[in-house]
Amino acid sequence: MKTINPFEFSDTNKRYYTYDYYLKRRFGGKCFKVPLDGGFTCPNRDGSKGTGGCTYCSERGSGDFTCTPDMSITKQFEICRNGLLKKWPSEKYIAYFQAFTGTYAPTERLRELFEEALSQKGVVGLSVATRGDCVTPETAKYLKELSKRTFLTVELGLQSVHDETAKRINRCHTYADFLTGYNMLDGVNRCIHIINGLPGENREMMMQTAKEVAKLHPEFLKIHLLHVLRGTALAKQYENGEFDVMAREEYTNLVCDQLEIMPPDTVIGRITGDGAKDALIAPLWSLKKFVVMNEIDKELVRRGTYQGIYYDK
Protein backbone atom coordinates (compact mmCIF):
# COMPACT_ATOMS: atom_id res chain seq x y z
CA MET A 1 0.00 0.00 0.00
CA LYS A 2 2.74 2.40 1.07
CA THR A 3 4.40 2.19 -2.33
CA ILE A 4 1.34 3.58 -4.06
CA ASN A 5 0.40 6.10 -1.39
CA PRO A 6 2.61 9.21 -1.67
CA PHE A 7 1.47 10.65 1.67
CA GLU A 8 4.29 10.60 4.20
CA PHE A 9 2.40 10.06 7.48
CA SER A 10 0.50 6.90 6.62
CA ASP A 11 1.05 3.15 6.54
CA THR A 12 -2.33 2.38 4.95
CA ASN A 13 -4.26 3.80 2.01
CA LYS A 14 -5.15 6.95 3.98
CA ARG A 15 -3.89 10.12 2.38
CA TYR A 16 -4.27 12.19 5.50
CA TYR A 17 -2.65 11.99 8.93
CA THR A 18 -5.06 9.87 10.94
CA TYR A 19 -5.35 9.86 14.72
CA ASP A 20 -4.83 6.08 14.68
CA TYR A 21 -1.52 6.48 12.88
CA TYR A 22 -0.48 9.10 15.43
CA LEU A 23 -1.48 6.94 18.42
CA LYS A 24 0.30 3.92 17.00
CA ARG A 25 3.53 5.87 16.85
CA ARG A 26 3.11 7.61 20.17
CA PHE A 27 1.71 4.75 22.29
CA GLY A 28 2.46 1.67 20.22
CA GLY A 29 -1.22 1.00 19.45
CA LYS A 30 -4.75 2.13 19.80
CA CYS A 31 -5.86 4.08 22.87
CA PHE A 32 -9.55 4.48 23.51
CA LYS A 33 -11.14 7.73 24.47
CA VAL A 34 -13.36 7.42 27.52
CA PRO A 35 -15.99 10.21 27.43
CA LEU A 36 -16.63 11.88 30.77
CA ASP A 37 -18.95 14.59 32.06
CA GLY A 38 -17.41 16.94 34.61
CA GLY A 39 -20.73 18.68 35.32
CA PHE A 40 -19.86 21.83 33.40
CA THR A 41 -22.17 24.14 31.50
CA CYS A 42 -21.43 26.82 28.86
CA PRO A 43 -21.46 30.62 28.91
CA ASN A 44 -24.04 30.62 26.13
CA ARG A 45 -26.35 28.42 28.17
CA ASP A 46 -26.10 29.82 31.68
CA GLY A 47 -26.87 33.41 30.72
CA SER A 48 -23.40 34.87 31.26
CA LYS A 49 -23.13 35.39 27.49
CA GLY A 50 -26.37 33.97 26.22
CA THR A 51 -28.98 31.29 26.69
CA GLY A 52 -30.06 28.26 24.71
CA GLY A 53 -26.55 27.18 23.67
CA CYS A 54 -25.32 26.74 20.10
CA THR A 55 -28.30 26.09 17.85
CA TYR A 56 -27.02 22.66 16.75
CA CYS A 57 -26.07 21.42 20.20
CA SER A 58 -27.93 18.52 21.81
CA GLU A 59 -29.38 18.68 25.30
CA ARG A 60 -26.34 16.83 26.65
CA GLY A 61 -23.91 19.38 25.20
CA SER A 62 -22.04 16.97 22.90
CA GLY A 63 -21.89 14.55 25.81
CA ASP A 64 -24.39 12.08 24.36
CA PHE A 65 -22.01 9.19 24.96
CA THR A 66 -21.07 10.05 28.52
CA CYS A 67 -22.55 8.95 31.84
CA THR A 68 -24.34 11.63 33.87
CA PRO A 69 -22.32 14.01 36.06
CA ASP A 70 -24.04 12.92 39.27
CA MET A 71 -21.58 10.00 39.21
CA SER A 72 -17.97 10.50 40.24
CA ILE A 73 -15.31 10.58 37.53
CA THR A 74 -14.04 7.23 38.83
CA LYS A 75 -17.48 5.64 38.48
CA GLN A 76 -18.09 7.14 35.03
CA PHE A 77 -14.70 5.91 33.90
CA GLU A 78 -15.30 2.41 35.21
CA ILE A 79 -18.70 2.06 33.50
CA CYS A 80 -17.45 3.38 30.19
CA ARG A 81 -14.22 1.40 30.20
CA ASN A 82 -16.09 -1.84 31.00
CA GLY A 83 -18.38 -1.13 28.05
CA LEU A 84 -15.42 -0.52 25.77
CA LEU A 85 -13.60 -3.60 27.01
CA LYS A 86 -16.42 -5.86 25.82
CA LYS A 87 -15.87 -4.65 22.26
CA TRP A 88 -12.20 -3.71 22.15
CA PRO A 89 -9.78 -5.10 24.70
CA SER A 90 -7.29 -2.35 25.38
CA GLU A 91 -5.02 -1.27 28.16
CA LYS A 92 -4.61 2.35 27.27
CA TYR A 93 -7.16 5.10 27.60
CA ILE A 94 -7.47 8.81 27.13
CA ALA A 95 -9.90 10.42 29.56
CA TYR A 96 -12.05 12.77 27.51
CA PHE A 97 -13.98 15.61 29.15
CA GLN A 98 -16.37 15.89 26.26
CA ALA A 99 -19.64 17.27 27.62
CA PHE A 100 -20.25 21.03 27.52
CA THR A 101 -17.29 23.39 28.16
CA GLY A 102 -14.54 21.48 29.92
CA THR A 103 -12.66 24.47 31.35
CA TYR A 104 -15.70 26.46 32.45
CA ALA A 105 -15.03 26.17 36.19
CA PRO A 106 -12.51 27.53 38.71
CA THR A 107 -9.02 26.10 38.19
CA GLU A 108 -9.15 24.31 41.56
CA ARG A 109 -12.24 22.37 40.45
CA LEU A 110 -10.57 21.53 37.12
CA ARG A 111 -7.55 20.26 39.00
CA GLU A 112 -9.70 17.91 41.13
CA LEU A 113 -11.56 16.51 38.12
CA PHE A 114 -8.57 16.14 35.81
CA GLU A 115 -6.32 14.61 38.47
CA GLU A 116 -9.03 12.08 39.38
CA ALA A 117 -9.31 11.11 35.72
CA LEU A 118 -5.55 10.80 35.32
CA SER A 119 -5.31 8.51 38.34
CA GLN A 120 -7.49 5.83 36.70
CA LYS A 121 -5.80 2.59 35.68
CA GLY A 122 -4.59 2.60 32.08
CA VAL A 123 -5.09 6.34 31.50
CA VAL A 124 -2.20 7.68 29.41
CA GLY A 125 -3.62 11.08 28.61
CA LEU A 126 -6.36 13.62 28.84
CA SER A 127 -8.49 15.49 26.30
CA VAL A 128 -10.55 18.48 27.30
CA ALA A 129 -13.18 19.99 25.00
CA THR A 130 -13.73 23.72 25.47
CA ARG A 131 -14.17 27.14 23.88
CA GLY A 132 -11.50 29.76 23.29
CA ASP A 133 -13.34 32.29 25.43
CA CYS A 134 -13.30 29.93 28.42
CA VAL A 135 -9.53 29.76 28.78
CA THR A 136 -8.28 32.13 31.47
CA PRO A 137 -4.60 32.92 32.11
CA GLU A 138 -4.84 30.85 35.31
CA THR A 139 -6.40 27.86 33.50
CA ALA A 140 -3.82 28.13 30.73
CA LYS A 141 -1.02 28.08 33.31
CA TYR A 142 -2.41 24.91 34.90
CA LEU A 143 -2.97 23.23 31.53
CA LYS A 144 0.59 24.03 30.46
CA GLU A 145 1.91 22.50 33.66
CA LEU A 146 -0.33 19.46 33.12
CA SER A 147 0.82 18.98 29.55
CA LYS A 148 4.39 18.54 30.79
CA ARG A 149 3.22 15.58 32.90
CA THR A 150 0.82 13.84 30.54
CA PHE A 151 -0.42 13.66 26.98
CA LEU A 152 -2.89 16.54 27.08
CA THR A 153 -4.98 17.80 24.18
CA VAL A 154 -7.23 20.81 24.52
CA GLU A 155 -10.02 20.63 21.95
CA LEU A 156 -11.23 24.08 20.96
CA GLY A 157 -14.48 24.57 19.09
CA LEU A 158 -14.02 27.19 16.42
CA GLN A 159 -16.66 25.93 13.97
CA SER A 160 -16.27 28.91 11.61
CA VAL A 161 -14.05 31.98 11.36
CA HIS A 162 -17.04 34.05 10.23
CA ASP A 163 -18.54 36.14 13.01
CA GLU A 164 -21.87 36.46 11.21
CA THR A 165 -22.14 32.65 11.27
CA ALA A 166 -21.16 32.57 14.96
CA LYS A 167 -24.01 34.99 15.62
CA ARG A 168 -26.46 32.95 13.60
CA ILE A 169 -25.65 29.75 15.49
CA ASN A 170 -25.68 31.54 18.88
CA ARG A 171 -22.06 30.71 19.52
CA CYS A 172 -21.67 33.88 21.59
CA HIS A 173 -18.01 34.33 20.78
CA THR A 174 -16.06 35.82 17.90
CA TYR A 175 -13.09 34.54 15.97
CA ALA A 176 -10.94 37.05 17.88
CA ASP A 177 -12.17 35.55 21.20
CA PHE A 178 -11.25 32.10 19.93
CA LEU A 179 -7.76 33.28 19.00
CA THR A 180 -7.16 34.80 22.43
CA GLY A 181 -7.78 31.43 24.11
CA TYR A 182 -5.95 29.50 21.41
CA ASN A 183 -2.84 31.65 21.72
CA MET A 184 -2.85 31.42 25.51
CA LEU A 185 -2.41 27.66 25.12
CA ASP A 186 0.72 27.92 23.03
CA GLY A 187 2.89 24.89 23.83
CA VAL A 188 -0.09 22.63 24.64
CA ASN A 189 -1.48 20.20 22.02
CA ARG A 190 -4.46 22.01 20.55
CA CYS A 191 -7.18 20.43 18.47
CA ILE A 192 -9.37 22.80 16.47
CA HIS A 193 -12.92 21.76 15.61
CA ILE A 194 -14.60 23.14 12.51
CA ILE A 195 -18.07 22.42 11.12
CA ASN A 196 -18.94 22.29 7.44
CA GLY A 197 -22.48 23.07 6.34
CA LEU A 198 -23.41 25.75 8.88
CA PRO A 199 -26.48 27.86 7.94
CA GLY A 200 -25.67 30.70 5.58
CA GLU A 201 -22.21 29.40 4.65
CA ASN A 202 -21.11 28.68 1.09
CA ARG A 203 -18.07 26.77 -0.12
CA GLU A 204 -15.84 29.87 -0.14
CA MET A 205 -16.66 30.63 3.47
CA MET A 206 -15.90 27.06 4.56
CA MET A 207 -12.63 27.14 2.62
CA GLN A 208 -11.81 30.46 4.29
CA THR A 209 -12.21 28.78 7.68
CA ALA A 210 -9.90 25.96 6.55
CA LYS A 211 -7.32 28.48 5.28
CA GLU A 212 -7.26 30.29 8.62
CA VAL A 213 -6.88 26.98 10.45
CA ALA A 214 -3.98 26.02 8.16
CA LYS A 215 -2.29 29.33 9.04
CA LEU A 216 -2.61 28.49 12.74
CA HIS A 217 -0.98 25.10 12.09
CA PRO A 218 -2.66 23.25 14.99
CA GLU A 219 -1.36 19.90 16.22
CA PHE A 220 -4.81 18.33 15.65
CA LEU A 221 -7.93 19.15 13.63
CA LYS A 222 -11.44 17.69 13.67
CA ILE A 223 -13.61 18.35 10.64
CA HIS A 224 -17.32 17.90 11.35
CA LEU A 225 -20.38 17.80 9.17
CA LEU A 226 -23.31 19.79 10.51
CA HIS A 227 -25.88 17.40 11.95
CA VAL A 228 -29.46 18.48 12.48
CA LEU A 229 -30.53 16.82 15.72
CA ARG A 230 -34.02 16.41 17.08
CA GLY A 231 -34.99 18.89 19.79
CA THR A 232 -32.46 21.57 18.81
CA ALA A 233 -33.08 25.13 17.66
CA LEU A 234 -31.39 24.15 14.42
CA ALA A 235 -34.01 21.44 13.82
CA LYS A 236 -36.77 24.07 13.95
CA GLN A 237 -34.91 26.28 11.46
CA TYR A 238 -34.39 23.28 9.19
CA GLU A 239 -38.03 22.29 9.35
CA ASN A 240 -38.99 25.90 8.55
CA GLY A 241 -36.86 25.67 5.41
CA GLU A 242 -34.39 28.33 6.61
CA PHE A 243 -31.38 26.41 5.31
CA ASP A 244 -30.47 23.15 3.63
CA VAL A 245 -27.95 20.47 4.56
CA MET A 246 -25.00 19.49 2.39
CA ALA A 247 -25.17 16.71 -0.18
CA ARG A 248 -22.69 13.86 0.23
CA GLU A 249 -20.69 14.60 -2.91
CA GLU A 250 -20.49 18.28 -2.04
CA TYR A 251 -19.21 17.42 1.43
CA THR A 252 -16.61 14.86 0.35
CA ASN A 253 -15.26 17.22 -2.32
CA LEU A 254 -15.00 20.05 0.18
CA VAL A 255 -13.21 17.91 2.77
CA CYS A 256 -10.66 16.86 0.12
CA ASP A 257 -10.11 20.54 -0.78
CA GLN A 258 -9.62 21.36 2.91
CA LEU A 259 -7.22 18.46 3.49
CA GLU A 260 -5.12 19.49 0.52
CA ILE A 261 -4.38 22.91 2.04
CA MET A 262 -3.76 21.73 5.63
CA PRO A 263 -0.23 21.33 6.97
CA PRO A 264 0.78 17.69 6.33
CA ASP A 265 1.72 17.14 9.99
CA THR A 266 -1.59 18.29 11.49
CA VAL A 267 -3.26 15.14 12.80
CA ILE A 268 -6.82 14.77 11.52
CA GLY A 269 -8.93 13.48 14.39
CA ARG A 270 -12.16 13.35 12.41
CA ILE A 271 -13.38 13.98 8.88
CA THR A 272 -17.11 13.68 9.40
CA GLY A 273 -19.67 13.95 12.18
CA ASP A 274 -20.54 11.21 14.62
CA GLY A 275 -23.69 12.26 16.43
CA ALA A 276 -26.37 10.33 18.26
CA LYS A 277 -27.99 8.24 15.51
CA ASP A 278 -31.50 8.15 17.01
CA ALA A 279 -31.64 11.93 17.15
CA LEU A 280 -30.40 12.63 13.63
CA ILE A 281 -32.88 14.37 11.31
CA ALA A 282 -30.49 15.28 8.49
CA PRO A 283 -28.39 14.61 6.52
CA LEU A 284 -29.30 10.93 6.71
CA TRP A 285 -26.55 9.91 4.30
CA SER A 286 -24.09 10.72 7.09
CA LEU A 287 -25.28 7.65 9.01
CA LYS A 288 -23.10 5.59 6.67
CA LYS A 289 -19.92 7.02 8.12
CA PHE A 290 -17.63 4.46 6.49
CA VAL A 291 -19.10 5.22 3.07
CA VAL A 292 -18.32 8.91 3.60
CA MET A 293 -14.76 8.10 4.68
CA ASN A 294 -14.29 5.77 1.70
CA GLU A 295 -15.57 8.42 -0.68
CA ILE A 296 -13.00 10.87 0.68
CA ASP A 297 -10.22 8.27 0.27
CA LYS A 298 -11.36 7.51 -3.27
CA GLU A 299 -11.60 11.16 -4.24
CA LEU A 300 -8.05 11.89 -3.06
CA VAL A 301 -6.79 8.91 -5.09
CA ARG A 302 -8.79 10.04 -8.13
CA ARG A 303 -7.24 13.52 -7.84
CA GLY A 304 -3.77 12.12 -7.14
CA THR A 305 -3.54 14.43 -4.11
CA TYR A 306 -3.15 14.15 -0.32
CA GLN A 307 -3.12 16.25 2.86
CA GLY A 308 -0.84 19.24 2.54
CA ILE A 309 -0.15 19.02 -1.19
CA TYR A 310 -1.23 22.66 -1.56
CA TYR A 311 -0.27 23.84 1.92
CA ASP A 312 1.02 27.38 1.69
CA LYS A 313 3.66 27.84 4.38
Phi, psi (degrees; rounded to nearest 5) at 91 = -115, -5
Nearer to ligand SF4, 233 or 293 (CB): 233
Nearer to ligand SF4, 54 or 246 (CB): 54
Nearer to ligand SF4, 76 or 159 (CB): 159
Alpha-carbon gap, residue 103 to 140, rounded angstroms: 10
Contact assessment for residue 94 and residue 32, using Cβ atoms and an 8 Å cutoff: yes
Q: Residues with Cβ < 8 Å from 195, sequence gap 6 or more?
A: 56, 159, 160, 224, 225, 226
- The CB-of-270 to ligand SF4 minimum distance in angstroms stands at 15
| Residues near ligand SF4 (CB under 6 A), total | 12
Nearer to ligand SF4, 52 or 187 (CB): 52
Element (H, E) at 176: helix 175-184
**Which one of residues 31, 34, 54, 126 is an interface residue with ligand SF4 (CB under 6 A)?**
54
Alpha-carbon gap, residue 219 to 85, rounded angstroms: 29
Degrees, nearest 5: CA angle 248-212-253: 20
Q: Residues with Cβ < 8 Å from 268, sequence gap 6 or more?
A: 16, 17, 18, 19, 220, 221, 222, 223, 259, 262, 307
Burial class, 86, CB count within 10 angstroms (exposed 0-12 / middle 13-18 / buried 19+): exposed
Per-residue interface string for the shown chain with ligand SF4, residues 220-259, x marking contact by CB under 6 A? ----------------------------------------
**Which one of residues 157, 197, 263, 308 is an interface residue with ligand SF4 (CB under 6 A)?**
157
Phi, psi (degrees; rounded to nearest 5) at 297 = -60, -45
- The CB-of-46 to ligand SF4 minimum distance in angstroms stands at 10
- The CB-of-50 to ligand SF4 minimum distance in angstroms stands at 9
Which window, 42-50, 68-76, 116-124, 213-221, contacts ligand SF4 (CB under 6 A)? 42-50
- The CB-of-83 to ligand SF4 minimum distance in angstroms stands at 23
Which window, 8-16, 39-47, 81-89, 250-258, contacts ligand SF4 (CB under 6 A)? 39-47
Q: Under rule CB under 6 A, which residues in 66-125 are in contact with ligand SF4?
A: 100-101
Binding site for ligand SF4 (CB under 6 A): 42, 44-45, 53-54, 57, 61-62, 100-101, 131, 157
